[in-house]
């Protein structure tokens, strides 16, 4: 639904986006990860046709982002900026009605659609609130409702949870997951890593204008991780299991976590881990469970950017 080919936009020598190749699948949530100034918002503006690229191409549902196609692109995209601009003198109803009219929805259809987007964003009780009275979290929810008014297939959300308290972040996360269930394709830009890891199908890490890697958190973690971290749960004999593991080639830093759990680092392959477990069992270690520690998004991000800085 979203694709870029060697997309470039420079602001001087070091700022902008460079050779960006991105792919976002239909009805998925793609987390666009990067620190402030990495190029996330520039990429979003290029996708929406708000900036003209220096070179390269961008496509929205197969339509190339070009001036002649902007009208068609706008029908497919709902863009929510990091700070939703509002008209303070309006009520929530008037605000959404104004945007519905801007998208040329007929009055009867507009009324029905406003009620639908308020329900989707859990904002129906705010229908008569004045915009000026809304908290930051409430404004974000109404901003998302506004983004949904014309029923776009693709949602581009720029830092939707930025500045929100924990409860409001949870509500926003639940709403975004619900939108995916409704078939929406979502590009979610954020630097709040735990928010992305919990709901995204794939992530792309952008740093200093370059998309360094994209895929699931697990896939990226496996590419990055040089050694495997393995947890083993035993019914008894943790000290004996520790002594046995320390004699195996490639096993390092064996640690007893509690009476039944151990952790070790292994420099071999994933296939060889099962062999280690078989050895434990053959030597009378009652193994109940073993698992590999999956890399979390924060560690993946730190590892990828560290490699980039060292290159």
Tell me the DSSP string of 192-232: -HHHHHTT-SEEEEEETTEEEEEE-HHHHHHHH-SSEEEEE
Does domain 226-294 correspond to CATH entry 3.40.50.300?
no
The pLDDT assigned to 245 comes to 93
The pLDDT assigned to 43 comes to 96
The pLDDT assigned to 197 comes to 75
Q: What is the pLDDT of residues 91-105, one digit of tens each?
A: 999 999 999 999 999
The pLDDT assigned to 300 comes to 73
The phi and psi torsions of 250 (rounded to 5 degrees) equal 90, -10
Does domain 2-85+147-222 correspond to CATH entry 3.40.50.300?
yes
pTM, rounded to two decimals = 0.78
The pLDDT assigned to 222 comes to 67
The answer to whether 77 and 1 have CB atoms below 8 angstroms apart is no
The pLDDT assigned to 58 comes to 97
Domain ranges, ordered by start, for the chain = 2-85+147-222, 226-294
Q: Other C-beta atoms within 10 Å of 175: how many?
A: 19
Residues of the chain with pLDDT under 70: 194-195, 221-227, 294-296, 299, 311
C-alpha distances (whole Å) from 16 to each of 43, 103, 119, 302 are: 9, 31, 38, 21
């Amino acid at each position: 639904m979203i694709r870029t080919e060697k997309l470039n936009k420079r602001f001087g020598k070091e700022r902008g986006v460079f050779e960006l190749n991105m792919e976002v699948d239909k009805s998925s949530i793609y987390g666009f990860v990067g620190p402030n100034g990495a190029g996330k918002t520039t990429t979003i503006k290029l996708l929406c046709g708000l900036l003209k690229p220096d070179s390269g191409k961008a496509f929205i549902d197969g339509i190339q982002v070009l001036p002649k196609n902007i009208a068609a692109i706008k029908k497919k995209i709902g863009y929510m900026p990091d700070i939703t601009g509002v008209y303070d003198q309006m009520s929530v109803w008037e605000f959404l009605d104004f945007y519905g009219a801007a998208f040329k929805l007929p009055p009867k259809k507009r009324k029905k659609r406003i009620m639908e987007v308020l329900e989707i964003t859990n904002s129906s009780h705010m229908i008569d609130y004045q915009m000026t009275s809304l908290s930051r979290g409430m404004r974000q929810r109404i901003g998302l409702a506004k983004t949904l008014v014309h029923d776009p297939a693709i949602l581009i959300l720029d830092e939707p949870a930025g500045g929100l308290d924990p409860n409001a972040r949870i509500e926003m996360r639940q709403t975004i997951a619900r939108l995916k269930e409704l078939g929406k394709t979502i590009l979610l830009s954020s630097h709040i890593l735990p928010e992305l890891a919990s709901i995204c199908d794939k992530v792309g890490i952008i740093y200093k204008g370059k998309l360094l890697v994209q895929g699931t958190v697990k896939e990226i973690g496996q590419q990055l991780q040089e050694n495997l971290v393995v947890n083993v749960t035993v019914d008894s004999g943790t000290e004996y299991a520790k002594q046995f593991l320390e004699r195996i080639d490639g096993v390092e830093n064996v640690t007893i976590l509690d009476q039944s759990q151990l952790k070790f680092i292994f420099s071999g392959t994933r296939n060889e881990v099962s062999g280690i477990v078989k050895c434990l069992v053959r030597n009378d270690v009652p193994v109940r469970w073993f698992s590999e520690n999956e890399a979390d998004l924060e560690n993946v991000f730190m590892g990828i950017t560290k490699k980039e800085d060292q290159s």
